[in-house]
Structure 1
Amino acid sequence: MGLFKVRTLCFGLLLAFKICIAADQLVGRLYPGFQASQMQWVEHDGRFLLSKNKIFGFGFYTALDAQSFVLVVIHLQASQVVWTANRGDLLVEKSDKFVFDSNGNVYLERGDRFAWATNTTGERATSLELLDSGNLVLLGDNGRTLWQSFSHPTDTLLSGQDFVEGMRLKSFPRRKKSDYLEFESGDLVLYTGFQIPQTYWSLLHEIKTTVQLLSEF
């Protein structure tokens, strides 16, 4: 009888622990004080925030070596990553945390330093919202936008997202190089990031070529 009680107690503790780990995903937005690690949300594939109509998710995504993680916005139906926070620092482990602190900063830890941050310390941030457009928005008083992922694209543009002077899309490296799409001096340029960048397409050049061809008719 005593052994049965012990087994029942152990089962109850394990069940309670599993329920704590498998927390419900947040929908729409989260608030200052929230923290999350990949290991806490493993049963939800690392995603802890969903957009209102569950079109996009935000959370951890397995990097190339399956031992480290990136923080991403992902289109759920297509399983397509559309924005990545820490592309320059992929060595985030399952115990490292995403943090929305009380001082207005949102960041991803890597050990004792930041792998990524919104750099909004001191701002009166009230919530972090994932929109059905795929835009991740840090809001302040009166709904003021303090930071948004649409202003910091990585390798994907979404419907309704502006692409303006100073922005750049960068592909993941292949053979130690990446391709870039960038607004440069009023021109939209596609180039390969060798030590000396090699441009292989330009919007202005395309327009000039088209105008020249039309003038020949």
Structure 2
Amino acid sequence: MSAAVVLLLLFFSGITSNADEVTKFPISLSSSLTPSTNSTWLSHSNKFAFGFYPTPNGYAVCVSFTSYFDKSRTVVWTANTDDPIVPDNAVMLLTEDGLVLKSTDSSETVVMIGNSSRPIGGAAMLDNGNFVLFDYHGSVTWQTFDHPTDCLVPGQSLSPGTQLLSHASETDLRKGMFRLKMQIDGNLVLYDSDSLDVSIDAYYESGTAGRGNNISLTLQNDGHLCLFDGTSVVMNITTGGNLTFEVLYLVRIDPDGIFRVYSRSWQPEDDWRPIYCGYKDVDAADCRCLPGYDRISSGVGCISNLVMDCSDKDQSSKFGMTRIQYVTWEDNYYSALDVSSEQGCEEACLKDCSCRVALYRNGQCRKQKLPLRYGRWQTVIEDVAFDLRCLFDIKGGTLICI
């Protein structure tokens, strides 16, 4: 019997042996929600809520903390992250097929949430943050714990082949730019959302590839986050504390691409505090573009805001190169040339209107594709970076760098 079913026994008034009779569930068939009136179903102790969650862009279907325990109503699960916003006149109905979202002025299904191969008999919002659908016999047919979005709560695991997706922003619940993948090869990897599952596109790897195909990322009740193969711990990511029901933990891949562990007490006036950020104690990442570059609106990377006229391919009379220290990017070049010096690399880039950034090392000049990705500060870098973000003031004859 699953842990979810055991918890539900506290709520049930009884399970009959007659298959024709429906088990009495906390949320029965034909129960419904609307954004404007009864917008959520609550867990037994009013800690968690499932249902319509207000955002600046409209309503989304989420599992969140209730305002009684968390004034900000932190979201831990979101339905349909590709397009989470539902019409203001939506109604959600629990049916034998699953949770059906319809418009009040139409019988047409807008979204199906948690559909099941077995007829559904009822549902429950559990106190551990798991929203569960059950068949008529009380067996789990679908649960949010099996379909995580950007978070894990204690008792939840990220199983092989699944991933967490960041939100677009703190208030925009659409799919964002980063993902954390628990690969079936046993490796836990951070990628941008549009990349392939290949090492060259990773900006973090746990280094556990080949350790087994049954490894999951697991958050335990004491805040211990680890890679677990079902028998033993493969890798500790954080250490656990003393198990106490007065402290709650949360793991989330944030919109900035950093994977953080948070903690807070159950006191309503408390707030979430990061207790672990990133990996290898990299906890002060500042994700931003260099001066003269803007973050692209979709995807990951930065693009130059310098306007150039490529009718004249040689830009040396109009622009100049700036040497950038202690910065490097993913080395994704479209052309590599043999040159005799750093100055030769600058000149080669200026004579190519497609060139914005070049990396120089040991007599080779590599012109980089845009957008630039995975930029980072490092004190020891073999490459010398040159950036086209200076232009000549025609009247004054000076070089102005933006």
Q: TM-score, normalised by structure 2?
A: 0.39
Distance in 2 between residues matched to 1:109 and 1:166, nearest whole Å: 31
For the residue of structure 2 that corresponds to 1:100, the secondary structure is strand
- Report if the CA contact (8 A) 1:83-1:156 is conserved: yes
Q: Structure 1, residues 140-189: CA drift from partner, whole Å, max 9, x if none?
A: 13321000000000000000012110211000126x95110111122111
Are residues 1:131 and 2:130 paired?
A: no
- The CA distance in 2 between the partners of 1:35 and 1:195, in whole Å, is 39
Other-structure match for 1:119: 115
Q: 1:106 corresponds to which residue?
A: 99
- Asked if 1:158 is matched to 2:153, the reply is yes
Output the amino acid matched with 1:160. G
| 1:191 alignment counterpart | 191
Q: Normalized per residue, which structure has more helix?
A: 1
Aligned-residue CA RMSD (Å): 2.6
Q: Please say which structure displays the higher CA radius of gyration.
A: 2
- Which contiguous aligned blocks of 4+ residues in structure 1 show a shift greater than 4 angstroms? none
Matched, 1:73 2:69: no
Task: Kindly indicate whether the alpha-carbon contact (under 8 Å) linking 2:178 and 2:193 is maintained by their aligned counterparts in 1.
Answer: yes
Who is 2:56 aligned against?
Answer: 64
Whether 2:26 is the aligned partner of 1:36: answer no
Per-residue CA deviations over 1:29-71 (Å, capped at 9, x if unaligned) read: 2111112210223xxxx32x11111111111112332xx2111
2:204 counterpart of 1:201: yes
Counterparts of 2:114 and 2:208, CA distance in 1: 36
- 2:162 maps to 167
Corresponding letter in the other structure for 2:206: L
Q: Which amino acid aligns with 1:36?
A: L
**Counterpart secondary structure, 2:111:** strand
Which amino acid is the alignment partner of residue 83 of structure 2? Answer: D
In 2, are the aligned partners of 1:178 and 1:193 still within 8 Å (CA)?
A: yes
> Which fold has the larger relative contact order, with Cα–Cα distance below 8 Å and residues 6 or more apart in sequence?
1
CA distance in 1, matches of 2:113, 2:54: 19
Distance 1:104 1:115, change over 3 A: closer
Higher share of residues assigned strand: 2
Q: Given that residues 28 and 123 in structure 2 are in contact (C-alpha distance below 8 angstroms), is that contact kept between their aligned partners in structure 1?
A: yes
Q: 1:132 to 1:148 in 2, by over 3 A?
A: same
List alignment gaps of at least 5 residues for structure 2: 1-24, 170-174, 210-234, 236-279, 281-402
| Structure 1: stretches of 5+ with no match in the other structure | 1-27, 211-217
